[in-house]
Chains A and B, each alone.
Chain A
Amino acid sequence: DTGVSQDPRHKITKRGQNVTFRCDPISEHNRLYWYRQTLGQGPEFLTYFQNEAQLEKSRLLSDRFSAERPKGSFSTLEIQRTEQGDSAMYLCATGPDGRALNEQFFGPGTRLTVL
């Protein structure tokens, strides 16, 4: 158990609907990342938060995607007007400051299926 939790674990939605996912990090971790993983591939970086500040967004994150971390604790990832190509596993990872800066610990993911 890494301590990172994600909700929901599975989401099935119809094309055009909005969906929101939540990530609760390990409590002392200031860094939070979102990744997307499609079948047969490794995770791909979407966005990064240092505390409540969103410091980087990937080109993969179209304007239909928005992420927040309002108080520097939990984070949400929203996808508006979902498309079938959005079907994937959405992973949240968090990391500590200090010596282990490069280590990231992943949650169990949210599997999104867009019909």
Chain B
Amino acid sequence: GQQLNQSPQSMFIQEGEDVSMNCTSSSIFNTWLWYKQDPGEGPVLLIALYKAGELTSNGRLTAQFGITRKDSFLNISASIPSDVGIYFCAGSGRIYKLSFGAGTTVTVRA
């Protein structure tokens, strides 16, 4: 089963809004990664975080590795329609295998 808890489970965005999602774990991870998955496709790596406290940006995306090493958050600034999709956090531990959260589904608000 999943070890990571992602929240919110789903969210609606309006173009131009900043959105935020987070991920918590009962286990310590050495690395946190954030992926985005479109329907029918594999996850695409957005950001990888390697050190506790690290804050990393990739364009309009910003992610942080929590200092306890048990949590991470992802912010999307000035959202655009192509930001819709499912965002997954993943923690990497032994042999670098990834444990994933259940995802945050981002949808455009009608």
Contacts and interface: CB of A to CB of B under 8 A. Distances in A.
A103 B33 contact: yes
A48 B2 contact: no
A55 B42 contact: no
B100 A43 contact: yes
Contacts of B45: 2, 103-106
Interface stretch (A64-72, A73-81, A107-115): A107-115
Count class of interface residues, chain B? 20 to 34
B95 A56 contact: yes
Contacts of B56: none
Contacts of A40: 102-103
Contacts of B50: 102
Given A2-B44, A100-B48, A108-B41, A42 B2 contact: yes
Contacts of B103: 40-42
B102 A102 contact: no
A98 B9 CA distance: 34
Contacts of B99: 45
A109 B42 contact: yes
Q: Which of B2, B33, B42, B95 has the most CB of A within 10 A?
A: B42
A19 to B, nearest CB: 19
Interface of A: 2, 4, 6, 31, 33, 35, 40-45, 48, 55-56, 91, 93, 95, 100-109, 111
